[in-house]
Amino acid sequence: MAANCPGTYENIPISTGRLNANFVKQEEIGAGSFGTVYRVHQKLFNQALAVKEINMKNEKDLAKNVRELSVWFQLQSEYVVKYRNHWFEKNPDTFLTIYIIMDLCDHNLRHLLTVKSKRYNRQGDITRISDWEYLICYYLYQEVLIGVDYLHTHKPAIIHRDLKPSNILVAYTHDKLMIKLGDFGLATNHELDQSHTENVGTTKYVSPEIFRIRRYTTMVDMYSMGVICEEIFQIDSLGDDIVEDKDMLKDIGNDVHTNKNKISEFEKITLLHDGKLFIEILEAINYLHTKSTPIMHRSIQPSNILIIHHAHGRFVKLSDFGLAIEHHTESQSHTQFPNAGKYMAPEVKQSRKYGLSSDVYSVGVLAQDLFNFDINKFEYR
């Protein structure tokens, strides 16, 4: 049973020796400015869990951690690290220590990407991605997107604000690898017209508007997801042709005839909100790539991704199969398109030997358009 979240220092119940009485503290599995995470063994139920130990220096630190707990309390999803309990103890060297018991996750996405990179060893060359690596990347990214979508569709919506591989954890449940979002130290509830704190998170993954303005939305998390997409797929779009006029997504009526009216910027943002649209695009491409005879689309771009609305909801449909082709083997030769636009992979422009990974490149460029960022123009610090 989760303990109640305290409001002020005065009404905080203080425990003594509770960790050692109920748990066997084992090895450290994570550390940083947020505190230290240890593997623990729960004596009563003979269960492996994790404890986050945070030494607080003052009431400001206390308020920050109480805020994290207040957000974490609200979340009940298999895509979020499960909070179980917490308590406070006095410590002679600090103002106060908080212990947070949570489900155990053995690794994080950063570890997984390091292992993947060593296993496939393509040194960032997207043209060498194998079908197996592509499927792994697709699965990982889709799982993270589902977790972020859960936060953004929560009532009230929650902005994580610190999405990065080290905060995306990996657990094994019933022999299945599960991706779980963790570390809600910077997470915040979001209401319309609400102002938020600026200058938070790890710079590389933080949307520029967080540094410039105090008014931002859940879309700042989608910027982080764009950077994470580049890392998962090891995509570098530097050197792509610059196209000034970006194609807009087109709307489709119930009669499935193309509506040539461009949707408004407001509608575009609404459609992209929470990553749902991108998940559906990935699922559509995965359908082509996992057929008994895989199909390469070779022309994945916004104008070829259509949206159908009817009584059962909104559906993403891939269109324009004029360049699509069956892909039987890696040794198969295909047509070269030297003058193709920015969405087409370099190997399609330069070589006749390419595979399903060429569509993945297009998805990476598409992600930058959808979430309105350019990974090559943002200065990492």
Annotated binding site for ATP: 52
CB-CB neighbours of 121 under 10 Å: 9
Do 90 and 16 form a contact (C-beta atoms < 8 A)?
A: yes
Q: Which amino acid is at 345?
A: A
The long-range contacts involving 13-17, CB below 8 angstroms and separated by at least 24 positions, are 13/87, 13/88, 14/88, 14/89, 14/90, 15/87, 15/88, 15/89, 16/89, 16/90, 17/89
Biggest CA–CA distance in the chain, Å, is 73
> How far apart are alpha carbons 40 and 24 in whole angstroms?
5
The annotated binding site is made up of 52
